[in-house]
């Protein structure tokens, strides 16, 4: 069996970073069933590891035991990783936004692949640019990749503008779109505690300029020290979300749950949204007060009427479970938001700095008034996702020397 080593699991404080792993594995289970899979998880906890073991018992899971993975000379410090690397016919870096002008990330595994002549690829990545320090080395290394799958067309266009010519370069959805893990027992228990009924509530997700739960991970998007401009931006964004809450309640009389994509947003949502709500709205608003695993979040989103999220992966998880989702995004957070337009959901992609809350409410009311049409839109978008994901899987199959898939690929929609 050909072997793939997937590197993934960037954080456990973020359900999107948790969700990349089971989503990508689910895609490959379906489209590359002949391959033997190993996963090196940069960050993990017992709940995440158990979820992955239960869902993918045949996959070799390697949980990093240190933040140091490789020496400057290219020696892998974990013997399990070194063994998996040696066996691998292909090394793949999973979805994320590692390559940008915001901060430097050490591409240690790609560098190791180049040193050893090991084929490698990047799966469902966004490229927001490179720092001046990164640019020369990254262009050289990325040009030697077997494939680069970008999760948004703006990233594809950016890499084309650099005249980058890896083995294959094109659009391929974020791996989280493949997610199928659920924890309905926990999800239903949470709804019961919060007095929420299935299909009768809106899930709302904040993304703020606040410090990461791990201060050592501070960067321009998660500042260690909140500037005055950060504070004002937080207030503007929160005001927009409060107006969405107000409009939703006025039009439907249904409750809202403040759901976290990242653990740090639980206290942020409380101070920026809950504390600012008028007393007339508070009886309709619930808070998730402790962080959850992605399978519990998926179950809750699957039972929501709709999701409005400043973060993309709550939208992805909702769509993967057949639930309409509006990405009320800030361009400050990179080009990845474009992915929703790329799969045909441009009307559910709203710039929070340029789109009024009233416009978001109007779109929510269209969803509420014609649920069948909204679900059809979700299904069509997910058909596109699976078509594109299958096409990227065929690129991987060719790299591994595998024959035509057992099931013929569906037509890729454009």
Q: In the chain, where are the structural domains located?
A: 3-178+386-400, 184-378
Asked if 261 contacts 311 with a C-beta cutoff of 8 angstroms, the reply is yes
Q: What is the DSSP letter of 101?
A: S
Residue with tokens 């439907």: 252
d(CA 403, CA 322): 32
Q: What is the pLDDT of residue 214?
A: 79
Residue 7 host element (H or E): strand 3-8
Q: At 354, list the tokens.
A: 């340029």
Q: What is the pLDDT of residue 100?
A: 84
232: burial class by Cβ within 10 Å (0-12, 13-18, 19+)? exposed
CB burial of 186-199 (b: ≥16 within 10 Å; e: otherwise) equals: bbbebbeebebeee
Structure tokens given for 130: 């490179």
pTM of this structure: 0.96
Cβ–Cβ < 8 Å for 324, 381: no
Give the CB-side neighbour count of residue 108, counting CA atoms within 13 A: 16
**Neighbour-count burial of 23, counting CB atoms closer than 10 A to its CB (0-12 exposed, 13-18 middle, 19+ buried):** buried
- Residue 408 is predicted with a pLDDT of 43
pLDDT score recorded for residue 411:
38
Report residues of the chain scoring pLDDT below 50: 406, 408-414
Look at residue 106 in the predicted model and tell me its pLDDT. Answer: 86
CATH architecture of the domain 3-178+386-400 equals: 3-Layer(aba) Sandwich (3.40)
pLDDT value, residue 222:
86
Q: What is the pLDDT of residue 413?
A: 37
Residue 368 makes CB contacts below 8 A (sequence gap 6+) with: 251, 252, 305, 306
Do 184-378 and 3-178+386-400 fall under one CATH topology?
yes
Q: What DSSP string describes 309-369?
A: ESSHHHHHHHHHTT--EEEEE-GGG-GGGHHHHHTT-GGGEEETTTS-HHHHHHHHHHHHH
Is 184-378 a CATH 3.40.50.2000 domain?
A: yes
In whole angstroms, give the CA distance from residue 404 to residue 394: 8
pLDDT of the residue at 405: 58
């Amino acid at each position: 069996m050909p072997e793939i080593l997937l590197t993934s699991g960037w954080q456990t404080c973020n359900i999107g970073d948790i969700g990349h792993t089971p989503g990508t594995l689910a895609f490959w289970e379906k489209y590359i069933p002949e391959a033997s899979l190993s996963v090196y998880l940069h960050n993990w906890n017992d709940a995440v590891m158990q979820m992955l073991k239960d869902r993918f018992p045949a996959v070799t899971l390697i949980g990093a035991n240190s933040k140091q993975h490789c020496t400057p000379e290219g020696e892998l410090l974990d013997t399990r990783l070194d063994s998996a690397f040696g066996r691998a016919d292909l090394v793949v870096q999973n979805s994320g936004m590692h390559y940008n002008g915001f901060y430097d990330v050490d591409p240690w595994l790609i560098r190791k692949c180049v040193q050893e002549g090991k084929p490698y690829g990047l799966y469902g990545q966004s490229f927001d640019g490179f720092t001046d320090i990164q640019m020369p080395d990254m262009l050289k290394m990325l040009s030697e990749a077997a494939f680069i799958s970008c999760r948004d067309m703006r990233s594809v266009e950016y890499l084309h503008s650099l005249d980058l010519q890896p083995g294959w370069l094109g659009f391929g959805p974020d791996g989280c779109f493949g997610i199928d893990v659920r924890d309905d027992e926990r999800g239903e228990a949470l709804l019961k505690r919060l007095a929420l009924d299935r299909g009768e509530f809106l899930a709302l997700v904040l993304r703020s300029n606040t410090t990461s739960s791990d201060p050592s991970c501070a960067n321009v998007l998660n500042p260690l020290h909140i500037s005055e401009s950060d504070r004002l931006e937080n207030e503007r964004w929160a005001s927009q979300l409060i107006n969405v809450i107000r409009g939703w309640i006025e039009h439907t009389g249904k409750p809202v749950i403040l759901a976290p994509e990242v653990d740090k947003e639980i206290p942020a949502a409380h101070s920026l949204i809950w504390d600012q709500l008028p007393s007339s709205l508070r009886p309709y608003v619930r808070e998730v007060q402790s962080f959850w695993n992605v399978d519990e979040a998926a179950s809750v989103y699957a039972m929501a009427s709709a999701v409005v999220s400043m973060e993309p992966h709550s939208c992805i998880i909702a769509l993967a479970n057949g639930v309409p989702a509006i990405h009320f995004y800030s361009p400050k957070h990179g080009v990845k938001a474009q992915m929703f337009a790329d799969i045909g959901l441009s009307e559910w992609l709203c710039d929070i700095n340029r789109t009024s809350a009233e416009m978001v409410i109007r779109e929510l009311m269209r969803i509420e008034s014609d649920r069948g049409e909204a679900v059809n839109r979700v299904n069509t978008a997910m058909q596109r996702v699976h078509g594109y994901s299958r096409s990227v899987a065929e690129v991987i199959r060719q790299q591994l020397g595998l024959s035509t898939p057992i099931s013929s690929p569906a037509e890729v929609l454009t």
